[in-house]
Chains A and B, each alone.
Chain A
Amino acid sequence: MSLPTPTQYWRAAQRWQHHLGQIGTVVASTIIRVAPPELAPQTPYSFLIVQLDSEKIEVMGVDHETFQPGDQVQLVLRKLGQPSDSSVIAYGLKAKKIGGVTHDEN
């Protein structure tokens, strides 16, 4: 799960074009608190299954945002990890909340 090389990054971009900007609904979400080295600086982060129009997709949530099943999200481009001096700054698809279900505070 290492951060992508430039060629891997280019290939991944072909997939992003299909999903970028799509709006969907959170099916399930967790908060990952222990992660591999490349992602450790971003912990804790959300990881979600999102229902889009015709398929489901698994993505990280933006920053430290938390999600609930039923939340409306949009797929956006965000940094995937900590950039270094010797690698490209890796971006990838993440989910950003654009509307939430009403949760009973009690």
Chain B
Amino acid sequence: MQISIIGQATTQFGELWDQDLYSLLAEVVPAAINSAELDPAQIEAVFVANKAGGSFSDQRHLNALVSQQFDHFPPAMRIEGACASGGLAVLAAEHALLAGQYQTVLVVGVEKMTDVSAAETTQFLASAANVQTEYGSTFPGLYALLAQAHQAEFGTTREMLSAVSVKNHAQALTNSKAQFHKQFSLTQVSASPLVADPLRMLDCSPISDGAAAVVLTTKQVKTAPKIIGFGHGQDSLDLAGRSSLTELKATQQAAAKAMAMAEVSPADIEVAEVHDCFTIAELLAVADLGFVEPDQAGPQALARLKSDDFSLKNLPKINISGGLKACGHPVGATGVKQLAFLAEHLAESDTCRALAHNVGGSGATAVVHVLETGGES
């Protein structure tokens, strides 16, 4: 049994002053179903990804909120796994599909983050850390510790971190849904204000509003992109509980499972959307996913800037949507948006195989998907 992505939709990402949680859902749900050319009554179940609607919008019970958008009130559940909520919701949908419980389901991710102050947002996001044993931490702070360790072990430089930001902002220029359409130089990134040493403002993904949705089915369809592998990994929530600060074992586990299921190797992946919540996160990802050796993560980021399309021979293109850094990071939507973006890319390009990598917290949770271009299933 194979799972096809037969419909997808993504709202504009950004500071959407005229949109709230409800209007984002009201926009993206019918758009995804229309894209699939389905009647809404054909949606048998809904999986909703959201990190903190209760904090940002004072609205919980999002599964019921989405279900009531349908006349037939399909069964719905909300999945929360910090910034990996989207990837986990897709996983939950896949498990239900492969168990034969449903044949066609909707996965929707949503987050409305900009109605509160930046300080409150920092507080809500920090709740994805272990608030008991990591008191005083912030998300930039935790990733800054990973960056410090990477610099100490591999000699990763300021320029290598900045190169990730420069590339992803440049690639977002062609993505109409992206939050930012502004190019930056290495110097500008490296001179932006410090947030948590060594991470600077332009190393960090933004606070974003947005939603994304995909329609998945196990029915036989021609041409629709297929999900040929998925994997899920976990590690210690606390950084102090990790055996290494220069790799995310959850990503390694998720990638190994997804690639084994898909019967592919890292060399088979042509395009990857990886979880670049901070620039150091992309350097960790390209190594943990098996694309490069850990000590080459920084040098390959710099080398990509020498190519017009940021490609390198024998390596996948990374974050052509602009990634979290420049496309935006409405946390509950991100994992779903990665699949929606890649499904559209596979349908419209000559790319045959793509990978999506979604991380929760400072790396405690990771979900990896491998997608392949359509063919009859």
Contact = CB atoms under 8 A, between A and B. Distances in A.
A56 interface: yes
Given A1-B127, A47-B136, A69-B152, A34 B120 contact: no
A2 B132 CA distance: 11
Greatest chain A CB density within 10 A among B119, B194, B240 is at B240
Contact of A33 (B132, B134, B152, B194): B194
B116 to A, nearest CB: 11
Given A30-B196, A33-B195, A35-B122, A60 B240 contact: no
Nearest to B117: A37
A56 B126 contact: no
B145 interface: yes
Interface in A40-56: 40, 45, 47, 49, 55-56
B100 interface: no
Contacts, number: 93
Given A28-B145, A49-B240, A58-B134, A36 B152 contact: no
B135 A92 contact: yes
Contacts of A36: 119-120, 122-123, 126, 138
Contact of A30 (B118, B119, B144): B144
A3 B164 CA distance: 36
Given A30-B145, A34-B140, A58 B238 contact: yes
A57 B122 CA distance: 22
Contacts of B197: 30-31, 33
Interface residues of B, number: 34
User: Nearest 4 A-B pairs (CB), nearest first?
Assistant: A36-B123, A30-B144, A56-B240, A60-B136
Given A34-B196, A55-B240, A49 B145 contact: yes
A20 interface: no
Contacts of A29: 145, 148
A31 B240 contact: no
Interface residues of A, number: 30
Given A37-B120, A58-B238, 6 more contacts: A28-B245, A35-B119, A36-B126, A56-B241, A58-B133, A80-B136
Contact of B136 (A39, A49, A55): A39
A32 B240 contact: no
A100 B350 CA distance: 57
A32 B136 contact: yes
Contacts of A38: 123
Contacts of B138: 32, 34-36, 47
A76 interface: no
Contacts of B137: 32, 47, 58
A59 interface: yes
Interface in B186-201: 193-199
A30 B145 CA distance: 6
A34 B134 contact: no
A57 B245 CA distance: 14
Nearest to B146: A28
A75 B149 CA distance: 22
Interface in A1-43: 1-2, 12, 15, 27-40
A81 B198 CA distance: 24
B239 interface: yes
B245 A47 contact: no
B141 interface: yes
Interface string B162-195: 0000000000000000000000000000000111
Contacts of A92: 135
